[in-house]
Each structure stands twice: as C-alpha cells, then as structure tokens.
Structure 1
Amino acid sequence: MTGRDGSFVDMEALLNEIEGHLLVDAARTEARTAAAELTAGLDWLTERQREEVARRFTERYLALNRASWQRTARRGEELRAQYETRYRQLRQRLLGCVLLGCALVFGTVLVALSAG
C-alpha cells in the first residue's frame, strides 16, 4: 500500500502504532475511572483536593502501566533471543544429522557397488 506521497506504508507497523494508541487510551480511561472511584469516597476533601488526588493517582497508575509494558517488552525480546538461539542450534544439529545420513547412504551404496 502507498501513502499520499507515493511512498510505501508498512501496514504492520501502522497497525502496531494504532494498537499502541488504543492501549494507551484504554489505560488512561482505566486510570481516570479508578481515580474517580477512589476520590468519590473522600468526602472530607475539597473539590480541588479531590482533583489533585485524582490527578496524582492517574499519573502513578499510568507510570506503573508503562513500567509493566516495558518489562513485558524486554522479557519478550529476551525470550525471542533465546528462541532464535535454540532454533539455530537445532537447525545446525539437524543439518549435521542429514549430512551424516547422506554420507552413510553414499558409503553404503559405494560398498554395495564395489562388492557387486
């Protein structure tokens, strides 16, 4: 797919970016809802104090979410690196077994031809 300027658009990257925006928006909504629920029971606070508590709660909630997402992303990268390393090892082992098998078959054929 091409953009308006004729350049190619990476649809996967675009979809990932849209998904990211939607996740952040959902987290903000969750944070505001949780902050409203928390401050609703604090009748002894003034309206301005409640707004300040809600603002700080929302900021902290989003910071915790961001840290959690970053830890999850780092762990995903670690797992991917481990998987890729293991996959390369298995592929090399399989290639070695196939080459050994071919050598054995070839050797058996040569012995059979020379004996026969």
Structure 2
Amino acid sequence: MTDRQAPDSRTVQAGIASLEGYLLWQGEIDRARAEAEACVEVLDWPTTAQREELVDLLARRQLDLSRMVITRVAERSLQLRRDYQQRYDCLKRRVVACALALVAVLALVSCLLLAR
C-alpha cells in the first residue's frame, strides 16, 4: 500500500480548471493559426518563407488580441462577482433584520396577550 493521500476537492477542481484552460487555449492557438493560414493563402505574392512569417505574425497578433479580450472578460467577471456579492450581502442583512424584527413583534404581542 502507498502512503499517498487523495487530493481534496479544491485541488481536484483547480486541476480540472487548469486543464480546461490549457485545452481551451490550445484550441485558440489552433484557430488563430488556421485563420492566419487562410488569410495568407489568398495572397499570391509571398514566397514560402514569407508566407510562414506572415502566418506566424498574424497568428501572434490574433493570440494577443484573444489574450486581451479574455483578460478583460475575466476582470469584468470578477468585478460583477464582487458587485453581486455586495448586493447579496446587503439583501441578506435586510432579510435577517426583518426576520428579527418580526420575531420581536411576535414576542411582544405574545407577552401582551399572556399578560391579559
């Protein structure tokens, strides 16, 4: 038997998220390369070396653009999460305050009815 411990669920989730991100980015690399090749294919003037250089340049530019968009989306997602968490916390405090006020009113009414 081994002394190896099973990873906890957070470690597993982080690993899966990392693998998913890697696979998505590899797909993005393939897509950027395919689009760059399609753009260069219609040009008849570049030599083979120039074609490869153009494909590399266009693919790199597309990947830079993709990275910028992904970063913006991730930042916006975090901002929205913070905003909604603040709203949720505020609503939760209001609900708890209303529930406590209702319990206090019910307790007061009960005391008044019992005091009769």
- The alignment's TM-score, normalised by the length of structure 2, stands at 0.91
The residue type equivalent to 2:78 in the other structure is: E
Q: CA RMSD in A?
A: 1.4
CA separation in 1, counterparts of 2:28 and 2:4? 34
Name the structure 2 match of 1:8.
7
The residue type equivalent to 1:98 in the other structure is: A
Runs of 4+ in 1 over 2 A off after TM superposition: 4-9
SS state of the match for residue 42, structure 1? Answer: coil
CA separation in 2, counterparts of 1:82 and 1:74? 12
CA separation in 2, counterparts of 1:42 and 1:79? 44
The residue type equivalent to 2:7 in the other structure is: F
Question: How many pairs are equivalent?
Answer: 112
Name which structure has the greater RCO, CA cutoff 8 Å, separation 6+.
2
CA separation in 1, counterparts of 2:6 and 2:100? 46
Name the structure 2 match of 1:67.
68
Deviations 1:74-112 (A, max 9, x none): 011001001110111011000110011001000101110
Deviations 1:23-65 (A, max 9, x none): 1110011011101101111111111111111110000000011
- The alignment's TM-score, normalised by the length of structure 1, stands at 0.91
Q: Which moved more, 1:50-59 or 1:7-16?
A: 7-16
What is the identity percentage for the equivalent residue pairs of Structure 1 and Structure 2?
30
CA separation in 1, counterparts of 2:4 and 2:21? 24
CA separation in 1, counterparts of 2:5 and 2:103? 51
CA separation in 2, counterparts of 1:5 and 1:47? 53
Gaps of 5+ in 2: none
